[in-house]
């Protein structure tokens, strides 16, 4: 179901006003999504929300949140939850009393400016759906320094699959809340993300180098650095076209004091874990799979610690279910596409 209201609470007892309470289909990995009517984005628009498990679900809530957008009848494309390009956001009841389980960073929408965009809020169970009640707290698009559009509350698209109650957000004196103030349309249809990842920059380079934490690794031909900072980065890797493989990339993370030292870019339940030594550096190597809304994520992550910093590289193969397409594309060659992972890791070393 999909409901809005003012009385829901997070784990810490605080109440988001307004909020959307969502629960997935009562099946393993069940999900629910709501699509807002098309909204014309302007330069400077920012998406904001706060995410968390609903306060009454004390032990069983374990979900993932995703944000998508669609222009016209084009591909449904993911927007990352994190500045480093990572999505989705995983949330689990942990009894925390911190002020917020997760506050969405200001997601700049400048790349969509001038276009009529449908935003899609998506939440799914991570395995069992039992107890999965979660909150999209006050999801809004804030327009900084601008005037509200002529119609700030578009009418929702009717649907026979569910109902909802509208709750309109209030703008602050310096920022004008312009969307999504309409009630989204809850549906349970397959979402297939676009093959083009969102990134802050794209740079061709022969090596990825982090000077603050003093490590580097060599990039294969055709790879591009999509984003990079001291604590995170993303490298897009080339792959064979014409299959169901949508994207192939490396997610880099550095976090001081992270214990255990594992990659935050991948699901918390690996299918295998082992210690490996590369260039005299010991890594925890983990592999696993994730799935959501017709998509699959095969991943291999390497994590090591140096001077209290947890450094991790996650290699991710993002593919779509072949049944999503007509005609059906051939399945990608997992062994061939994964071969570059060990090649890249063989070049990882400290900068002296």
* 16-31 exposure pattern, b = at least 16 Cβ within 10 A, e = fewer: bebbbbbbbeeeebbb
CA distance 158 to 248: 37
Check if the beta carbon of residue 289 is closer than 8 Å to that of residue 299. yes
Identify whether 153 is preceded by a cis peptide bond (ω within 30 of 0). Answer: no
Check if the beta carbon of residue 37 is closer than 8 Å to that of residue 156. yes
Q: pLDDT per position in the chain (352 positions), as tens?
A: 455 555 677 777 777 667 888 888 877 777 888 888 999 999 988 888 888 888 766 667 888 888 888 888 777 788 877 665 666 777 777 665 444 445 556 788 888 989 999 998 988 887 778 888 888 888 888 886 644 444 333 333 323 232 222 223 333 334 444 444 444 554 443 333 333 333 334 445 689 999 999 999 999 999 988 888 898 888 989 999 888 888 899 999 999 999 899 988 777 778 999 999 999 999 999 999 877 656 788 999 999 999 999 999 999 998 888 776 778 889 999 999 999 999 999 999 999 8
Check if the beta carbon of residue 304 is closer than 8 Å to that of residue 261. yes
Nearest to 70 by CA among 113, 106, 35: 35
Check if the beta carbon of residue 281 is closer than 8 Å to that of residue 348. yes
Give the phi and the psi of residue 344 in degrees, each rounded to 5. Answer: -65, -45
Tokens read off for 304: 């090591």
Output the DSSP codes for 11-76. Answer: TTS---SSEEEE---SSTT-EEEEEPPPEE--TTEEEEEEEEE-TT--S--EEEEEEEEEETTS--
Q: What is the DSSP letter of 322?
A: G
pTM above 0.85, yes or no: no
Greatest extent of the chain over all pairs of C-alpha atoms, in Å? 63
Express each pLDDT in 266-312 by its tens digit. 777 789 999 999 999 999 999 998 776 567 889 999 999 999 999 99
Express each pLDDT in 101-154 by its tens digit. 455 567 888 889 899 999 989 888 877 788 888 888 888 888 866 444 443 333
Strand partners, 85: none
CA distance 39 to 30: 28
CA pseudo-torsion sign 70, 71, 74, 78: negative
Return the number of other C-beta atoms located less than 10 Å from residue 91's C-beta.
22
């Amino acid at each position: 179901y999909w409901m809005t209201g003012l009385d829901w609470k997070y784990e810490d007892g605080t109440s988001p006003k307004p909020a959307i309470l969502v629960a997935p289909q009562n099946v393993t990995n069940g999900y629910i999504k709501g699509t807002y009517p098309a909204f014309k984005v302007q330069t400077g628009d920012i998406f904001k929300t706060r995410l968390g498990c609903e306060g009454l679900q004390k032990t069983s809530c374990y979900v993932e949140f995703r944000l998508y957008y669609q222009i016209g009848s084009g591909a449904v494309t993911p927007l990352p939850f994190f500045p480093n390009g990572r999505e989705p956001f995983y949330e689990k009841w942990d009894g925390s009393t911190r002020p917020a389980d997760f506050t969405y960073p200001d997601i700049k929408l400048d790349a969509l400016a001038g276009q009529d965009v449908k935003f899609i809020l998506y939440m799914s169970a991570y395995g069992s759906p039992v107890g999965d009640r979660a909150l999209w707290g006050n999801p809004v698009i804030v327009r900084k320094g601008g005037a509200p559009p002529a119609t700030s509350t578009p009418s929702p698209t009717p649907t026979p699959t569910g109902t909802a109650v509208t709750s309109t957000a209030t703008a602050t004196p310096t920022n004008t809340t312009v969307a999504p103030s309409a009630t989204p349309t809850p549906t349970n249809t397959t979402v297939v993300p676009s093959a083009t990842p969102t990134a802050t920059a794209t740079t061709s380079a022969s090596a990825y180098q982090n000077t603050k934490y003093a490590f580097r690794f060599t990039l294969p031909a055709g790879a591009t650095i999509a984003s990079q900072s001291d604590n995170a980065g993303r490298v897009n890797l080339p792959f064979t076209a014409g299959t169901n493989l949508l994207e192939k990339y490396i997610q880099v993370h550095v976090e001081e004091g992270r214990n255990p030292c594992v990659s935050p870019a991948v699901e918390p339940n690996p299918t295998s874990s082992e210690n490996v030594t590369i260039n005299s550096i010991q890594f925890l190597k983990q592999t696993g799979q994730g799935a959501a809304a017709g998509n699959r994520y095969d991943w291999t992550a390497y994590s090591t610690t140096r001077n209290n910093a947890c450094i991790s590289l996650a290699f991710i193969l993002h593919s779509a279910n072949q049944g999503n397409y007509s005609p059906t594309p051939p399945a990608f060659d997992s062994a061939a596409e994964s071969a570059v992972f060990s090649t890249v890791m063989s070049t990882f070393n400290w900068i002296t």
